[in-house]
A = this chain, B = another copy of it.
Amino acid sequence: MADAVQEFNDYRQKMNEKLLADNNKVIKRIFNLDTNAYAEGALDVKTKELLGLVASAVLRCDDCVKYHMETCYKQGLSKEQVMEALSIATLVGGTIVIPHLRRAYEFWEALEANAAKSE
């Protein structure tokens, strides 16, 4: 299970490097913005990561959900807080969000297993 995290990150990093090496200016800037938008500002990083998570969940993008779950995990947000955010996503986005909720929950378990392993 823990390998799900590694596998996701490896593929993501490999393809991001290719996309950025390709020199398309618009794509490069969007990637850049993506890094900056979640930095501390009027809202703290935890809140922003939860916003990114919920936006990803209602738009039903599994990879985006995984990415923000990992950052939420690293930021020290609890499973209860993350699930509470995802419950709002499920209410606003409807029962079609549920399959993504299942996969999100599984990924959170992988993040926990991964952390336990590296202790």
Binding site for B on A (CB under 8 A): 11-12, 15-16, 18-19, 22, 24-27, 29-31, 33-34, 36-38, 41-43, 47-48, 50-52, 54-56, 58-64, 78-81, 83-99, 101-103, 105-106
A88 partner, pick from B12, B38, B83, B90, beta carbons under 8 A = B38
Instruction: Establish whether residues B60 and A61, one from each chain, have CB atoms under 8 Å apart when the complex forms.
Output: yes
Residues of B within 8 A of A79 (CB): 22
Instruction: Enumerate 23 A-B pairs (CB-CB under 8 Å) in ascending A order.
Output: A12-B102, A18-B105, A19-B101, A19-B102, A24-B83, A26-B91, A27-B86, A30-B33, A30-B91, A31-B98, A34-B95, A37-B91, A42-B78, A42-B80, A43-B85, A51-B54, A55-B55, A55-B92, A59-B93, A64-B95, A93-B93, A94-B94, A94-B96
Q: How far is the CA of A61 from the CA of B59 in the complex (A)?
A: 12
CB pair B87–A37 under 8 Å, yes or no, is: yes
